[in-house]
Amino acid sequence: MSFAQRLTTPIEEILEARLAGEPLPREAAYRLIQAEGDELLALFSAAAALRTRAKGTVVTYSRKVFIPLTNLCRDKCAYCTFARPPSDPRAHTMTPDEVLAVAEEGRRHGCKEALFSLGDKPELVHARARQELAALGYASTFDYLLAMSRLVLEETGLLPHINAGILSADQMAALRPVSASMGLMLESVSERLLEPGQAHYGCPDKVPAVRLHMLREAGRLRIPFTTGILIGIGETPAERVDSLFAIAEIHAEYGHIQEVIIQNFRAKPDIRFRHWPEPSALDMMRTIAVARLILGGEMNIQAPPNLTPDAYGMYLLAGINDWGGVSPVTRDHINPEAPWPHLRELADTTRAFGFTLRERLAIYPEFAERPEFVDPALRPRIAQLLRLCEQSL
Ligand code: SF4
């Protein structure tokens, strides 16, 4: 069947073909991401069926602490409330003692993941960042990150997951023995978002080609990798689809994408986009469902529960199978106004939709069992933590 024929084919036939194992044509995805009425119900039903066929009724989360190593950053994303200019009294680079204190508290609360999330290369533009790093004894944010990942792993046994912006292949290779997984949100492949007034104006690290290059380099290094898209930042529905296809194509080549996050923009009073409209829960559901159809049943697809507190359970109806990192200890420093739900509430909501909540590690089990994706230095610790997760079932 040609693409032209598919476009005139009813949505039900396209969905049936997808459930029968055919890939979703891009043109069909452009149409599905704007589905309404009966088509919308058919879209959700197909996406949920694809998920349940591959994943059953288990929904996972990672018990983590959030370590915001530095909130200085060289980029100026219009939706960001995490990064602070050097003159802001809230600008802060954590000391090793502070890093260890957070990780240790997490360990006491049963956390197994230390999420390092930080601004991108602030020392390239901010003298304060250079001075703070020098005082700590490091030449770059990367050098400090590497040392702190090793410190947390060795002192607390938490598995670092690195979310540090753009890293080179050499840097990722150096981090591999001290981190179980890494991540970089693709966010969007739209170059338009780099233009004046758009979300990524003034953000050299948000150039789509740079981010796609890092995703590929991580694939060459066999690093279990987290990526995703950020919706509602000025991208068109078609650009959303293009971003998902870009992720799917890289995963088809390297097989290292362990999860894809669909994250919704949230307006905040202190950001450039404070008056920008937020995407609705329905828009999230459409995007999740199309992501499931593009990426297939085996991909882990995640939506953060804290960014849609009143309705996140509905995302299960659109095909997610993971809630991401949830912390019983630290707040979401990227969205500080949005507390994570209590783990008991998360379990209850998950159960109300007919699913079972289960803990996973920063590295997903299907990657943990493949030696090429686990650095030899980490294998004993990961095996030990996997046993702990299984005992908690
Ligand atoms: S979103 Fe990330 S890259 Fe953008 S300004 Fe915030 S910390 Fe920097």
Q: What is the pLDDT of residues 68-90, one digit of tens each?
A: 999 999 999 999 999 999 999 99
Which residue has tokens 């990064």? 83
pLDDT for 244-283, tens place per residue? 999 999 999 999 999 999 999 999 999 999 999 999 999 9
Q: What is the mean pLDDT of residues 211-221?
A: 98
Sign of the Cα pseudo-torsion (224, 225, 226, 228, in order): negative
Cβ of 28 below 6 Å from ligand 1: no
CA–CA distances in Å: residue 48 to residues 41, 59, 203, 234: 11, 12, 36, 27
Q: What is the mean pLDDT of residues 161-177?
A: 98
Cβ of 273 below 6 Å from ligand 1: no
Q: What is the mean pLDDT of residues 299-327?
A: 96
Phi, psi of 150 (to 5 degrees): -65, -45
The residue contributing the CA closest to ligand 1 atom 2 is 119
Cβ of 68 below 6 Å from ligand 1: no
What's the chain's average pLDDT? Answer: 95
Phi, psi of 308 (to 5 degrees): -140, 65
Binned at pLDDT 50, 70 and 90, residue 306 comes out as very high
Cβ of 15 below 6 Å from ligand 1: no
Do 343 and 333 form a contact (C-beta atoms < 8 A)? no
Cβ of 106 below 6 Å from ligand 1: no
Confidence at residue 254, expressed as pLDDT on a 0 to 100 scale: 98
Cβ of 80 below 6 Å from ligand 1: yes
Q: Which tokens sit at 367?
A: 């990657």
Q: What is the mean pLDDT of residues 116-132?
A: 98
Binned at pLDDT 50, 70 and 90, residue 3 comes out as very low
For residue 8, is pLDDT > 80?
no
How many angstroms does the Cα of residue 360 sit away from the middle of ligand 1? Answer: 27
Ligand 1 atom closest to the Cα of residue 119 is 7
**Which of 120, 198, 270 best tests ligand 1's pocket when mutated (most atoms within 8 Å of CB)?**
120
Which residue has tokens 């069909």? 28
Confidence at residue 391, expressed as pLDDT on a 0 to 100 scale: 77
Binned at pLDDT 50, 70 and 90, residue 237 comes out as very high
List b or e across 237-249, with b for residues whose CB sees 16 or more CB atoms inside 10 angstroms: bebbbbbbbbbbe
**pTM as predicted:** 0.95
pLDDT for 96-120, tens place per residue? 999 999 999 999 999 999 999 999 9
- Mean pLDDT lowest for which of 7-16, 131-140, 182-191, 333-342? 333-342
Residue of 87, 91, 109, 107 lying closest to 99 (CA atoms): 107
**Which of 79, 90, 203 best tests ligand 1's pocket when mutated (most atoms within 8 Å of CB)?**
203
β-strand 58-67 against 181-183: which pairing, if any? Answer: unpaired
pLDDT for 172-215, tens place per residue? 999 999 999 999 999 999 999 999 999 999 999 999 999 999 99
The residue contributing the CA closest to ligand 1 atom 1 is 80
Q: What percent of the chain has pLDDT over 70?
A: 97
Q: Which tokens sit at 334?
A: 């990227």
Binned at pLDDT 50, 70 and 90, residue 334 comes out as confident
pLDDT for 35-57, tens place per residue? 999 999 999 999 999 999 999 99
Q: Which residue has the higher pLDDT, 327 or 337?
A: 327
Binned at pLDDT 50, 70 and 90, residue 4 comes out as very low
Sign of the Cα pseudo-torsion (211, 212, 213, 218, in order): positive
| Domains of the chain by start residue, with CATH | 51-391 (3.20.20.70)
